[in-house]
């Protein structure tokens, strides 16, 4: 296992505008590290720089304890899985898997053994003599993964490998890739624009926007404590609701002249230096208000759209000039045009400084469950 370290790494194509700026991160040995962000944010470019397929404009890349800026790809001791699989159509599955070993002049008996081992691991034993055109999308993905694993490189790079698969197969392959990574103990750097893949697969994730790091951390920590409004709205589905707000007399937070949220006395001091705020709340933290409630943080909203998904109900409503979303567990009988009373609780909201966009306060009433091992065992 090897670590990968990027120190002040930047990338520019015209020497004027950086597409990636000041990237500083250490990816630990054996870690599943996910680069996630919208299209054009620079995540694939960063992966290609680690692979040696793109030159590094500035900064230092270290693989293991060795500086790798000028190392050719063949000397970096990595394997890579591409978005389009890059399989040779005229070769059999077996020949595709061992192609890299053949180039490296690995003895034929060793190639055969490695191929059989990885084919058994990935369920490809019955397909070794087929051509790629005779395989399904998921089987082709397994062949591309097998070709990367068979090289026994300590670092594996993946560039949106599941984007061509249907939703059910993507979910299956997410689990399969994660199990293989843990079994082999390899360091994996995985690029995706899908926040569900990032949340479910990564030990840590890095969120990029316009070539700059927005936040690095464990998925659940980023979900619970987003560093800024971009992270808050990018992670989570539906995304976090965001609105402008003002602090009134350090006692309440007013949103769109429609609802006021009381500030507990012991929390008022954190807002003393910031009058203009951005308030954010996850859809699942919006509560239904009691019918006869007179609370100032209660408001009647009109349902604009509703989606009953079996185990949960998602609906939207207008608050100020923005469309907000709420997500409630279970099947709720509601139709477009219904009026529903909701509550926004101070302990359920995020607060960001409107000017700097830095996080001032994260939700404090998140329900977490600790498994009782004595009960399980």
DSSP secondary structure string, 313-350?
Answer: EEEEEEETTEEEEEEEES-----TT-EEEEE--GGGEE
Instruction: List, for residues 157-198, the tens digit of each pLDDT value.
Output: 999 888 877 888 888 888 888 988 898 889 999 999 998 999
- Residues 173, 303, single domain; the answer is no
- Whether 220 and 301 map to the same domain: the answer is no
Q: Is residue 368 in some structural domain?
A: no
342 within a domain of the structure (yes/no): yes
Strand, coil or helix: what is 170? helix
Both 187 and 272 in one domain: the answer is no
Last residue of a domain, one of 198, 229, 260: 229
Which residues share a beta bridge with 61?
6
The average pLDDT across 268-281 equals 79
Q: How many domains does the chain fold into?
A: 2
> Residues 119-162: pLDDT tens digits?
888 888 999 999 999 998 888 888 988 898 888 889 999 998 88
Structure confidence by residue, pLDDT tens digits, 200-240: 999 999 999 999 999 999 999 999 999 999 999 999 989 99
Are 17 and 166 members of one domain?
yes
Q: Note whether 210 and 222 are within 8 A (CB).
A: no
Q: Say yes or no: 269 and 214 in one domain.
A: no
58 and 118 assigned to the same domain: yes
Name the domain boundary from 175, 207, 229. Answer: 229
292 in the same domain as 255: yes
Q: How far apart are CA 36 and CA 204, in angstroms?
A: 11
CATH number of the domain enclosing 149: 3.40.50.300
Residue 269 lies in a domain: yes
CB 297 within 8 A of CB 260: yes
Indicate whether 367 belongs to any domain.
no
Per the CB < 8 A criterion, the answer to whether 116 and 149 are in contact is no
Type and span of the H or E element at 13: none
pLDDT at residue 312 is higher than 90:
yes
- Interatomic CA distance for residues 157 and 268, integer angstroms: 47
Beta bridge partners of 308: 313
DSSP code for 175: H
> Would residue 373 count as lying in a domain?
no
Same domain, yes or no: 223 and 337:
no
Indicate whether 369 belongs to any domain: no
Structural domain span for residue 259: 230-361
Mean per-residue pLDDT for 235-251? 89
Model confidence over 30-64: pLDDT tens digits?
999 999 999 889 999 999 999 999 999 999 999 98
Q: Does residue 173 sit within a domain?
A: yes
The answer as to whether 134 is a domain residue is: yes
∠ CA 107-108-110, rounded to 5°: 70
* Pair 258, 277 in one domain: yes
Q: Which residue has the higher pLDDT, 190 or 268?
A: 190
* The pLDDT of residue 129: 93
Q: Look up the pTM and report it.
A: 0.89
- The edge-to-edge listing of strands for the beta sheet with 312-319 is 287-288, 339-343, 298-308, 312-319, 322-329
Q: Give yes or no: residues 357 and 277 share one domain.
A: yes
CATH of the domain at 315: 2.40.50.140
Domain end (from 183, 205, 229) = 229
Say yes or no: 253 and 217 in one domain. no
Return the SS3 of 187.
strand
Q: List, in order, residues 6 or more apart from 209 with CB less than 8 Å away.
A: 37, 38, 41, 230, 234
45-54, 67-76, 269-278: segment of lowest average pLDDT: 269-278
Q: Are residues 241 and 195 in the same domain?
A: no
Listing DSSP states for 105-131 in one string gives T--HHHHHHHHHHHHHHHT-GGGTTS-
Query: What CA–CA distance (Å, rounded) separates 56 from 68?
Result: 10
């Amino acid at each position: 296992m090897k670590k990968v370290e990027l120190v002040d790494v930047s990338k520019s194509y015209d020497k004027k505008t950086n597409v990636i700026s000041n990237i500083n991160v250490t990816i630990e040995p054996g870690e599943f590290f996910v680069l996630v962000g919208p299209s054009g944010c620079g995540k694939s470019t960063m992966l290609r720089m680690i692979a040696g397929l793109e030159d590094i404009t500035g900064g230092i890349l270290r693989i293991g304890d060795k500086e790798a800026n000028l190392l050719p790809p063949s000397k970096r001791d990595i394997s890579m899985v591409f978005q389009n699989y890059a399989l040779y159509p005229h070769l059999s599955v077996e020949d595709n898997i061992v192609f890299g070993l053949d180039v490296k002049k690995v003895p034929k008996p060793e190639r055969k053994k490695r191929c059989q081992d990885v084919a058994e691991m990935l369920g490809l034993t019955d397909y070794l003599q087929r051509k790629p055109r005779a395989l399904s999308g998921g089987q082709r993905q397994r062949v591309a993964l097998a070709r990367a694993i068979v090289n026994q490189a300590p670092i594996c790079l993946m560039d949106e490998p599941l984007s061509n698969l249907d939703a059910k197969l993507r979910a299956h392959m997410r689990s399969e890739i994660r199990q293989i990574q843990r079994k082999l103990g390899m360091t994996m750097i995985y690029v995706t624009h899908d926040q569900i893949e990032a949340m479910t697969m990564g030990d840590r994730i890095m969120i990029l926007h316009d070539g700059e790091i927005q936040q690095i951390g464990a998925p659940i920590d980023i979900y619970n404590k987003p560093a800024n409004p971009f992270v808050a709205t990018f992670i989570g589905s539906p995304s976090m609701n965001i609105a402008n707000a003002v602090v009134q007399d350090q006692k309440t937070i007013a949103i769109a002249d429609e609802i006021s949220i009381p500030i507990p006395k012991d929390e008022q001091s954190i807002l003393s230096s910031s009058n203009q705020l951005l308030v954010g709340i996850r859809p699942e933290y919006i509560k239904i208000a009691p019918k006869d409630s007179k609370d100032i943080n209660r408001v009647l909203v009109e349902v604009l759209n509703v989606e009953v998904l079996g185990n949960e109900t998602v609906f939207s409503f207008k608050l100020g000039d923005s469309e907000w979303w709420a997500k409630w567990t279970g099947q709720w009988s509601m139709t477009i045009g219904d009026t529903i009373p909701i509550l926004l609780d101070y302990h359920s909201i995020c607060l960001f400084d409107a000017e700097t966009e830095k996080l001032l306060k994260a939700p404090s009433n998140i329900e977490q469950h600790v498994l009782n091992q004595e009960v399980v065992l």
